[in-house]
Structure 1
Amino acid sequence: EGEGFKTVLPARATAKVSFRLVPGQDPERIRAAFRAHVNAALPSDCRARFTPHGGSTGIALPPDGPFMDAALGALSAEWAPNRAVVIGGGGSIPVVSDLREVLGMDTLLIGFALDDDRIHAPNEKYDLASFHKGIRAWVRVLDALAS
């Protein structure tokens, strides 16, 4: 155990695993399937212990809905000549599905980044220009949604 180089196999290993689910996937069913898969692959002299840390269903927004069009137009205006793009991400962040299920509200998750930014990566980097343009872009988005 402990940090540093080892010449023998350690007695214990740990891992943190998370899944980003898509609409229609049940978090409890995915959790059970993962546990079953791990347990089925374990050698007979090994055991696994699982500690759950929540879970939520995935959601998706229509890519051509009125809120999306307004947000994309506002973002593109701030970041011109670059056009804002839509990527799938964050749809299984618990608060996003809670807002839809509890309050009946859809949520836009909007990020601001350059091609070489590495948010949440080991070599994390976020350009200060993205932060400042992000502030201005949010003003544009809120104005567009209010209109």
Structure 2
Amino acid sequence: MAAIELAGTYVMQGNTNGNWVSGRHAVLYTHGIDPCVAVCGFNGSVAFMIHSDSMRTSGVGSTELADGIRALVPAMGDGAGWELTLAGGSSARVAAYLAEHFPSADIYDRGWSESAYITGDGIFASTKGDLARSLGSIAVTIAGPL
């Protein structure tokens, strides 16, 4: 097994600071998500991440989480065809909120975590080590922005 280098983009906190990627060698990542939540989505070809500190308008950027997702992914609709994976401090509350706004999405709550990673082909991990193992590698290096 060899180390893998991925082109990465750090996702800053705030419902309007999300980003999206596609392809196996691209990754979105964030840290410090306790008590926040990383909301990661994948639809078979595109992955996105938002580091949310509030579901409502009180957080960084003062934008409701569902509105931030819809602005980032205009084709989100009711969530049909999307997997939403959550990790962080209040992921159970956010899972219930997202089920109301995107009732057709498959929602997976990964529970407490301090960090989150999602590749452009939908591989989610809570640590860089877990990401490396999921990619069949001994280590992952994340190079500068995409």
Higher helix proportion, which one?
A: 1
Q: TM-score, normalised by structure 1?
A: 0.22
Higher strand proportion, which one?
A: 2
Q: Which has the larger radius of gyration?
A: 1
Asked which structure has the greater RCO (Cα within 8 Å, sep 6+), the reply is 2
